[in-house]
Amino acid sequence: MAQFTNQAQLTYSGGAVNSNVAVGELLEVLSASKTALGDSYGRGEDITYVISLVNSGNTVLTGVTVSDDLGGYAFDGQTLYPLDYVEGSLRLYADGVLQGAPTVNPGPPLVVSGLNVPAEGSLMLIYRARVTAFAPPGDAGSITNTATVSGSGVGAPITVSETVFPEAEPSLTVTKTVSPVPVTENGQLTYTFLIQNTGSRAAVATDDVTLTDDFDPILRGLTVTLDGVPLSEPGDYTYNETTGRFATLPGRITVPAATFAQDTETGAWVITPGVTQLVVTGTV
């Protein structure tokens, strides 16, 4: 409900006088809401958004436009967009029934135009947006994107916003290399496992990180180090020289969190992974 005021002026040969201020209320028939399906994000992932429009009036609202700013924020005289609309992803439902594709300008900002909200009914827009390199990572990061609903029958534009936050979990990858290549029979062979964490939280003992591998050819007389520190069996790992199965004990491997910095020229966030290195050497 929106409040409005109005005042009249009376003029005559003897001067002018103002009336009292009349205060009224305008009952708005259109309401809107915006929801993200999921409250966290990671770079390159898709976020699904739902915008709901409800018309409580007894007349169809035509020519409605929905504009989504895709989380744009100012940086060094330019606007950066942490979200990128996934083209072709938008679905439109009127009173729960799928409609034909509306007119979509992917932007940024994303603009959906020519919408009709049924009388005493609802319209729902569902679409996906991909997280870009301009999305702030880390504990202090967030994306707030705002949609504006406007049109000749809407009155004052309606704005609705939704905020999502970066994933606060480790995000691990592992790369394995072997040396030397080639190796001679009864020679020394070394496997190096580079474990990287691009997440904002370190992988700690309670995350139960475990690395397993079935060595083929089977190695004998293992020596194992973790970031240069020797590991021993069975306190740190297990190894079966009959099958070649190697496994670290759960939680023995920890990986520091990534660090983040925003490029001062482009505004893109640069991720420097946290790194842990496991090295296994044995005789072929």
State mean pLDDT over 196-209.
Answer: 96
Per cent of the chain over pLDDT 70 is 97
pLDDT digits (tens, 9 = 90+) for 116-127: 999 999 999 999
End-to-end CA distance of the chain: 79
pLDDT digits (tens, 9 = 90+) for 161-184: 999 999 999 999 999 999 999 988
Residue 246: other Cβ atoms inside 10 A: 24
Beta bridge partners of 64: 115
Q: Which of these ranges, 23-27, 71-75, 239-243, has the smallest mean pLDDT?
A: 23-27
Which residues fall within 8 angstroms of residue 138, CB to CB, at 6 or more apart?
A: 166, 200, 260
Confidence bin at 152 (pLDDT 50/70/90): confident
**The pLDDT of residue 29:** 87
Domain ranges (residues) in the chain:
29-166, 172-283
pLDDT score of 25 more than 90: no
**The pLDDT of residue 138:** 87
Domain 29-166 has CATH 3.40.50.2300: no
The tokens for 153 are 């029958």
Query: Whole-prediction pTM value?
Result: 0.80
The CA-atom distances, in angstroms, between 31 and each of 120, 151, 225, 237 are: 12, 13, 62, 60
pLDDT score of 274 more than 80: yes
**The pLDDT of residue 145:** 95
pLDDT score of 1 more than 50: no
Contact predicate 200/269, CB 8 Å: no
Same CATH topology for 29-166 and 172-283? Answer: yes
**With b meaning 16 or more CB within 10 Å and e meaning fewer, what string describes 195-204?**
bbbbbbbebe
Q: Alpha-carbon distance 189 to 283, whole Å?
A: 6
Closest CA to 213 of 186, 242, 191: 191
Would you identify the CATH topology of the domain 172-283?
A: Immunoglobulin-like (2.60.40)
Burial class (CB in 10 A: 0-12, 13-18, 19+), 19: exposed
What average pLDDT does the chain have?
94
State mean pLDDT over 123-145.
Answer: 95
pLDDT score of 26 more than 60: no
pLDDT score of 2 more than 70: no
More confidently predicted of 231 and 185: 231
Residues of the chain by 3-state class (helix, strand, coil), percent to 5: 0, 55, 40
Q: Alpha-carbon distance 24 to 36, whole Å?
A: 35
Angle (CA) 133-137-139 rounded to 5° is 175
